[in-house]
Chains A and B, each alone.
Chain A
Amino acid sequence: MDYILRGLAQAFLMIFTGDGEVYRIAAVSMKISAISTSLASLAGVPVGFYLAFHRFRGRRGVVTILRTLLAMPTVVVGLVLYSLLSRSGPFGALRLMYTQTAMVIGQFVLASPIVTMLTLSALAGVDKRVRPTALTLGASPFQSDFAVLREGSFALAAAIAAGFGRVFGEVGVSMMLGGNIRHYTRNLTTGIAFQTSRGEFSLGLALGVILLTVALTANLLVRFLEMKSSKSTD
């Protein structure tokens, strides 16, 4: 117990004194996850929108695939992408392995299904009267789609926050595609695994506290946005 308490004390000291190593690692996490979530939103929101309002042949199959991807372990996603991006793989010539770009690609693959499925669910819950109301007030079909998005904005924001939460705390993809290179691809999750294995418990704890804080904040944000969304549909 003393060991844990000493480690925690040193961890908080590192955080509050602005330890360079800790914040550099945290910055890599924030950067990679923010970029990948943004790209996942750009892709996932329109796809989720299309699935919410269009019926087409094969739609059920698409939704099933997305649901399966939601449940995919991160290390399996990492493994599949590793096989594609490694030197011997079909995209080996791009030399993306052990780069931040590879991590972004991996986290994009992880976040997209969540953002897409939660967008679908959010928009399917928007009041059905929104679109005809917008149309009868003179909106074009595109403008009426935008009205639906706006009415579902809290739920959409919750979908994006949930996507961010999933990738911020993952380790499988980051480790396999990033390689945990110091000052480059070492993020909070790979850093915790690495530092702890080296016996640098305090540093690992410090990274863990930051990870936990951000993850908790993301979850609280999702809950808050979901509550705002359900209040607005009452």
Chain B
Amino acid sequence: MDSLSLESGEIHTIVGPNGSGKTTLMRVLSFLEKPAGGTVTFKGNRISTGRGVPQELRRSVTLVMQDHYLFEGSVFSNIAYGLRIRGVKDPGLRRSIDTALEITALQGFGPRRAGTLSGGESKRVAIARALVLKPEVLLLDEPTANIDRRNTELIEDTVQQLKSEGLTVVMTTHDFSQAYKLGDSMVSLVSGKVVDVSPENIFPCMISGNEATIAPGVALAVQCERSGPAHVAIDPRGVILSLSELNSSARNCLAGKVVRISVEDSLVKVYVDVGTEIVSIITEDSLESLKLRPGTSVYAVFKTVSVRVL
């Protein structure tokens, strides 16, 4: 990426398909890995110079990994780990841990063995373990991946609570709705690059001639000189929905069915299954006039220039 700047005190969401580099980016931001090139600057300090990161800076940033690990022992001892290595003792230790358990809705979980927790409970303990350290920056790598609905809501509530405390949160997610709901800013990542396109409608594809195949039987007309594997982005605002097949200058006309509809800030997102899910952003008036509902058969129509090869 050319550059990526994250302001303090905000919740930043990073979205992108699998393999886009989200986890690698989080590891770089948490100083676990050096970037392949370029530098990381944190609070005015250039970090990626090959020298050891000063402990004070390292302790300002905490990462909760997607595939997190809880140490052997109890929930209490897990959450206490970071405090103990910082020399925090009772009664301050216990008070901090109780607060962290409360924030993550884990009251009473202290004595439970880490190995007896469900996936969602375990993730909340990992978040509590990070929060108790009061980092300046909290990095969350897919915090709600493979978590049930109830635990997802609890984690989302926790993240929203953190914003009011002035914490800087950087969070990766696959879920665009979650990214829009929680984030003050959103960054789209594709193949390790920041892209300035809407994160919906980014598809891996195979380009051959002037066609990009994004799913079995779903090929888009594109303007592109190269061939082989790539990613394409379709501007959701450029996708027109029609109840009948249009005879127009638009080269892409895909038949499908409306899967779901969401309304956010008077913008309507219509998710259409054309063999893969494509998002179209329309107005509420258009929604009403077309009488679109889940199950309605529609055509998703867009011009070649609405398809950008990344």
Contacts and interface: CB of A to CB of B under 8 A. Distances in A.
Contacts of A34: none
A138 B55 contact: yes
A137 B68 contact: no
A157 to B, nearest CB: 13
A33 B178 CA distance: 62
Contact of A138 (B68, B69, B82): B82
Interface in B101-139: 115, 129-130, 133
Interface in B29-78: 30, 32, 55, 58-59, 61-63, 65, 67-69, 71-72
Interface size class on chain A is: 10 to 19
A53 to B, nearest CB: 16
Nearest to A143: B85
B30 A138 contact: no
Nearest to A147: B71
A77 interface: no
Given A151-B71, A232-B115, A137 B32 contact: no
Contact of B58 (A129, A132, A138, A147): A138
B122 to A, nearest CB: 13
B81 interface: yes
Contacts of A132: 27, 32, 65
A137 B85 contact: yes
B299 to A, nearest CB: 48
A138 B72 contact: no
Contacts of B82: 137-138
A169 B30 CA distance: 51
Contacts of B115: 232, 234
Interface size class, chain B: 20 to 34
Given A136-B32, A138-B133, A130 B69 contact: yes
A232 B62 contact: no
B150 interface: no
B167 to A, nearest CB: 16
Contacts of A129: 65, 67-69
A140 B250 CA distance: 59
Contacts of A151: 71-72
Among the interface residues B55, B72, B129, which one has the most CB atoms of the partner chain A within 10 A? B72
A143 B129 CA distance: 17
Given A147-B71, A151-B71, A151-B72, A138 B85 contact: yes
Contacts of A136: 30, 32, 61-63, 65
B125 to A, nearest CB: 12
A143 B71 CA distance: 14
A137 B69 contact: no
A21 interface: no
Contacts of A140: 55, 85
Interface of B: 27, 30, 32, 55, 58-59, 61-63, 65, 67-69, 71-72, 81-82, 85-86, 115, 129-130, 133
6 contacts: A127-B69, A136-B61, A138-B55, A150-B71, A150-B72, A151-B71
Given A137-B129, A232-B115, 16 more contacts: A127-B69, A130-B71, A132-B27, A133-B68, A136-B30, A136-B62, A137-B82, A137-B130, A138-B55, A138-B58, A138-B85, A140-B85, A143-B85, A147-B71, A147-B81, A150-B71
Interface of A: 127, 129-130, 132-140, 143, 147, 150-151, 232, 234
